[in-house]
Amino acid sequence: MSRVRTENGVVEGLESDGLHHFRNIPYAAAPFGPNRFLPPRRAADWDGVRDATKPGPAAPQKAEDNPLATIYSATNSGEDCLTLEVWTPDPGSARLPVMVHIHGGGYVFGAGSLPGYSGRNFARDGVVHVSINYRLGIDGFLHLGEGHDNLGLRDQSAALAWVQRNIAAFGGDPGRVTIFGQSAGGVSVMYHLALPASRGAFAQAIAQSGCSMASVEADEASRVTRQVARDLGVPPTVEGLSSVSPERTAAASYKALTRFALGLARGDRRALLLSPFRGVHGTEFLPMNPARSASRTPGVPLVAGTVRNEAGRLVDGIVTVAGPLAPLVRLGLRRALGLDGSMVRAYREGPRRIRGLAALVEAGWSDWAFRIPTIRLLEERSEPSWLYEFRWQREGIPPASGSFHAIDLPFVRDDLGTVMALGQPALEQFGARPPNELAQRMHADFVRFATTGDPGWQKYDRTERATMVYDTETRCLHDAAGVERAAWDGRRPGHM
């Protein structure tokens, strides 16, 4: 057992193989009851020693149907959910680099305590690893006016502030904090680059599969609020939504997510980002979206990148559900993406050599939602920035879906063993022998960036556009997106 004193009291965690793990540490008070739909409030102090050996509850959410559910989906949720976990090589050390992980899940699913997000291997390599929970869905991202906006992002900022005040007790250096996350976590990282409340709370950032153009204005966010409230039969106000139980709002969050995504069948461009729950810009808390504020606010070194087939599984799933209407759905997606003749030529001539409507839609959607917004963000930054693209996929499957959204998660953590222990679901997605060498390389690059501020390859600029390509043969290429990137010029500005 291992003990550390935090600002609220003493926590006792586990020690294993020389590493120390502390779980379920509150960084803010439970955000329900009298605190519901309010900014996070200070956690209460406690007497004695708090047991930090078991995971705390995730934010209320519907159980996710995920073939890798046991390591990436939360099964235990509850109201006292604003907690975090810490892995550290040695609480007695001084000024170790710190990495704070923000989980993904479309702002509807997930938790920082899940086995697939373990910080053990970061601690093994000399990094203090923190993973956080935050409010999700209606309770975290429904817009209810100034002061009641962006609550999930406010939770994340509160967690970063807690890290600044407490991480030294775990051996970490508050001046060497790197934030990182994938999908909604990657979008969150981009938000924090633009958030006044988060300035000074971290020194570096890594955004995996994020979108710098995902935030919306208050009018669009309020439209979602009215629709959700109407479905729940309550006024679209703090008082009205507070009368609904967390269990019902979790179910309603999933319903809103499903209905929003169905807009794709109508060619609704808003649905291309899938989740109705987003950051709301034009507010006091988030004045501007990240793409527009990148060159106007103080910044930090950034590593950002995407996987090759971000939208591959999305297209496959939609086509499966559509059945005989699949060709019409593909055409609707093509229209929503604006893939005209010049774009088609660019994808045929570009590095992916796209053929066929299904592959075209997948590539266009991946670029519209992830790759191009990531590149645009780096183009606008004056601070040191690095770009990567993850391309590896298992053998024997079509290239249009093989390097799928979230495939990079176990590689970043050098933790393929946890995934492969799941058996058949992992074999179907990763094959029998995914390359450990690639996991070791990608993980080492992330650790190097957290430790030294440089991931080990050439910085990104508008001239050479250096891109680290993670694959069976990892290498740095110049302008890896090529004519595909150029084709989006003027078509994908810094907003929706």
Give the active site residues: 183, 310, 405
Q: Residue 131 phi/psi, 5° resolution?
A: -125, 140
Q: Are 242 and 36 in contact (CB under 8 A)?
A: yes
Q: H or E element: which one contains 466?
A: strand 466-470
| Alpha-carbon distances of 377 from 103, 178, 193, 262, 482, rounded to whole Å | 21, 18, 11, 28, 17
Those residues whose C-beta lies under 8 Å from the C-beta of residue 397, and which sit 6 or more positions away, are none
Nearest-Å Rg of the Cα atoms of the chain is: 21
Reduced to 3 states (helix: H, G, I; strand: E, B; else coil), residue 158 is helix
Q: Give how far the C-alpha of residue 56 lies from the chain's centroid of Cα atoms, to the nearest Å.
A: 20
Token pair 């770009």: residue: 387
Max Cα-Cα span within the chain: 69
| Alpha-carbon distances of 376 from 209, 213, 304, 373, rounded to whole Å | 13, 9, 11, 5
Tell whether the torsion through CA atoms of 459, 345, 308 and 338 is positive or negative: positive
Long-range pairs for 342-350 at CB < 8 Å and ≥24 separation?
A: 342/487, 343/487, 343/491, 346/483, 346/484, 346/486, 346/487, 347/484, 347/487, 349/483, 350/481, 350/482, 350/483, 350/484, 350/487
Strands 2-5 and 128-132: unpaired
Q: Residue 416 phi/psi, 5° resolution?
A: -65, -25
**Token digits of residue 236:** 């679209």
- The DSSP line for 280-333 is B-SSSSS-S-HHHHTTTS----EEEEEETBTTHHHHHHHHHHHGGGHHHHHHHH
**Token digits of residue 64:** 């996710």
